[in-house]
Amino acid sequence: MFSKGLGLALAIFGVASITHPVSFEWLPGITFGWQVVPEWAPLMGVFVLITAIALFSARKFTRKQLATFIIFVSGLLGFVGASHPLQFFFFMEMMIFPAFYLIFEQDPAIAFKYFAYMQVAALLVLAGIFSSGTVSAVMFTLAFAIKMGLFPLGSWLPDAHSQAPHSLSTLLSSCTVVCGAYGLYRFSYHSFLLLVLAFMSIVYGAWRATRDEDLKRVLAFSTVSQMGYAVLALIYAPRILPTFLLMHSLAKATLFLSAGIIIDRTGIRRMEGLGVTSFSLMPACLVATLSLAGVPPLLGFWTDLAILKAVTPLPLMLVALATMFFTLLYVERLMAIFFRREGRQKVEGWLPLLTAVLLVLGGILYE
Amino acid sequence: MNELLVTALILPFLGKYRKPATLMAFLFAVYLSLVEGYYLATFFFILSIVLMGISRWEPAKYPLLFLAMFDLIGLVNSQNLLELFLYFELAIYASYFLIFGKENLRALFRYFIVNSIGSAFMIFAIALTFVTSGSLNYLTNPALVFFVLGLLIKLGMAPFQDWLVEIYHKVSLSLILFFSVVLTEVAPLALLMVVDRPVKALELLALFSMLLANLLALAEKDLIRLLALIDASNLAFDLLAISIATAASRVAAIYMMFSHVLAMALAFSVIVLSGSKRISRLYIPPALTAPFFAAFFILSGLPPFHLFPAKVVLFSAVFDATQGTSYLLLFNLLLNAMVALRVMAAAKTGKTKKAIPLSFTVLVWSLVLISLILGLFPNFFFQLSASQLAYLGGPHLGFSESLIPSIPASFGQTLTGLISR
């Protein structure tokens, strides 16, 4: 209870920082500031909400796990409010250790894979900070591409997201990958390199999401694909990026929370043969998946439309549009578990509805 | 000081009350050092109380711990070289009796021989200084090298770390902590008191020693030996900062010293408690998994733990003084991180047969927590180190700097103007 209270206090501190910037002398000559960029404030609010939901869904966590989880959350919220270059490196590292420990308990091999990729990304950020010009831009591009899980640099993502405890994978997929896009937004990047990676990720992620059998891996590959779209937004329509990422965070939080509840109750991870009946999870997942696919009037429709309108090279726009149909294919696969007749089990969970409602409201109120 | 000296002399004669009396003496020492603003001593006295809490020694040994601590405080208060040497020797003699036992006589004998060789170097350096300059306050250049060499031999710097490893293999965890934490980490203080100018020979010696220690550690299979090598490489980091001898690097040296004390205490604790001897058979009990990974994450010098700001302070000080050396240092810091990560990668979870005492569980978790807090808010620690430098300098051994430096400007400028939006 104490740990959850501490986590909530952190979350409240996160909200307070949107309007009340904090700064202190970390070391003489190095001042660490904490202030959320105004246009990213709604996303910070969503992070705080997802953090609170993840904390409350972490029922099976031991005290040690909760303590490390709170360090992870501090790193996550710290990253979004960072103002000194060294802080970005600091908070990236702050997320690595707890996530590594929590994944290690499930699968040591995947934990080390995650650790190695994240460490390389953090060191590339450090190298980017100490270099300049194109070299610096390339370093930042590679570092945050790893963090976002862009293909082929992000092979850690499907493994780590699927093996992490459910609360952690909710945060990993909805918030930490978003930190990669945020890092690129704050630092310089190499447009061409990033565009190539984004293009490959959109196609590869969507294709693997239609093929994979593990429920959480399908969601993880969908994240890879969506991060490709985030890069398109970053390069061609930076103003829409925070809203797109907000939509992604809400949708992925809904889906990972639902997947966690389903896997916990049924004990089945493979999608083949998994049948679920649910009054709460079905509408939540439907809203989240349709929003990812860009179906009106959900928030995803407006963000995808804005991105497609902004992407000026016609071939690239056509590829992005075509890949959205792939998205519909895996949406159909995900939703099929709610309509399968054989071996159905009743599963309920109300937390995902919270984030799903925000997706609907976002779509209706979008300007 | 006089009150503590009287206490140290009375303690051995208190029979069965020696342990509680020593505890009271340490509390008294903590009070005195706080009143006098001598926080370095406070730090060592509190560490001693922790050591007393976790140890299971026979009562006769506790006054020896007090004597060793008293000597270390005397050492940093020394008014001249001879006094410094005598306090150092007394502390070493107290440690001989602390580790005395039938099963480790061979290791003790080796310890004695190596220390005598180190002492011979130091005495020769003091004599050389006295003969050439007629003073016992200032070491001439050739004498300085002999003096430092003597100190390093005594303190197990690479490649002279083998005697220390043998001791570590023979004694209990509380004694290992006494050696790795208190005795060897106080060396930078003694060095700080005698090296008052940039000495290129020492800089090269430090670079060579840290490279050797890191490379040996990368190939080492014995866990205790590996930790001793990490300890040796940390000593070399301190020596590098001391040999550069700018205000910032001297503060960095003290900061690193404090930081290593905490990091090594945690690393030794988790490894000894796990009961593993070889890196290929490193089984971590479930209760220790998180502290184990935290310990080696800390040793790798990565945020958010306390060794990261320490290494930032060290690197920035070296970067400001000599950029070429700073890149070599950076390479060694990376090697250092690789050594720690290698141990993490070799870990397997397993169940240990013996139960872990509550006192040790509290100890390791407290160290992890302190490390995290000091990593997030290191400024207080930095200011403390700087004020200790002012204390060490000034009246003793001819130093006069008391300025609290900031992170050097050239390093600070490197970090600004990077965020594009």
Mean pLDDT calculated for residue range B291-315: 87
Q: What angle do CA B180, B186, B192 make, to 5 degrees?
A: 145
Task: List CB contacts (< 8 A) between B344 and chain A.
Answer: 115
- Nearest Cα residue to A73 out of A56, A252, A86, A83: A56
Task: Convert chain B into a string of H (helix), E (strand) and C (coil).
Answer: CHHHHHHHHHHHHCHHHHHHHHHHHHHHHHHHHHHCCCHHHHHHHHHHHHHHHHCCCCCCHHHHHHHHHHHHHHHHCCCCHHHHHHHHHHHHHHHHHHHCCHHHHHHHHHHHHHHHHHHHHHHHHHHHHHHHHCCCCCCCHHHHHHHHHHHHHHCCCCCCCHHHHHHHHHCCHHHHHHHHHHHCCCHHHHHHHHCCCCCHHHHHHHHHHHHHHHHHHHHCCEHHHHHHHHHHHHHHHHHHHHHHCCHHHHHHHHHHHHHHHHHHHHHHHHHHHHCCCEHHHCEECHHHHHHHHHHHHHHCCCCCCCHHHHHHHHHHHHHHHCHHHHHHHHHHHHHHHHHHHHHHHHCEECCCCCCCCHHHHHHHHHHHHHHHHHHHCCHHHHHHHHHHHHHHCCCCCCCCCCCCCCCCHHHHHHCCCCCCC
CB contact under 8 A, A186 and B419: yes
d(CA B330, CA B335): 9
Nearest to A326 by CA among A207, A150, A220, A178: A207
Q: Is the pLDDT of residue B398 over 60?
A: no
The nearest CA of chain A is from the CA of B109 a distance in Å of: 43
| Residue A352: closest CA among A167, A223, A178, A177 | A167
Task: Give the tens place of pLDDT for each residue, A37-56.
Answer: 888 888 888 888 888 888 77
Question: Does A79 contact chain B (CB < 8 Å)?
Answer: no
d(CA B169, CA A104): 30
Contact A112 B382 (CB under 8 A): no
Segments making up each domain of chain B, as ranges: 208-393
Q: Is the pLDDT of residue B180 over 90?
A: no
Which chain B residues are Cβ-neighbours of A115 within 8 angstroms? 344
* pLDDT for the residue A344: 77
Yes or no: say if A283 and A291 are a contact pair by the CB < 8 Å rule.
no
Residue pLDDT, tens place only, A244-281? 999 999 999 999 988 888 888 888 888 777 778 888 88
Mutate to test the interface with A, among B256, B344, B418 (most CBs of A within 10 A): B418
Task: Decide if B421 and A37 are in contact by the 8 Å CB cutoff.
Answer: yes
Whole-number Å distance between alpha carbons of B53 and B43: 15
Q: How many CA atoms lie within 13 A of A294 on its CB side?
A: 19
Neighboring chain A residues of B313 at a CB cutoff of 8 Å:
27
Which SS3 state, helix, strand or coil, does residue A270 take? strand
Q: Residue A227 in contact with residue A180, Cβ under 8 Å? A: yes
Q: Which residue in the set A26, A68, A89 is minimally distant from B379, CB to CB?
A: A26
Which residue of chain A has the CA closest to B381? A27
pLDDT band at A224 (very low <50, low <70, confident <90, very high): very high
CA distance A190 to A207: 26
Average pLDDT, chain B: 79
> By percentage, how much of chain A surpasses pLDDT 90?
10
pLDDT at B406: 46
**Complex-level ipTM beyond the 0.90 threshold:** no
Q: What pLDDT was estimated at residue A14?
A: 66
Nearest C-alpha neighbor of B247 from the set B77, B43, B399 = B399
Contact A79, A88 (CB under 8 A): yes
Q: Pick the residue from chain B with its C-alpha nearest to A88.
A: B419
Q: Is the pLDDT of residue A303 over 70?
A: yes
Q: CA of A94 to nearest chain B CA: how many angstroms apart?
A: 5
CA distance A200 to chain B (A): 26
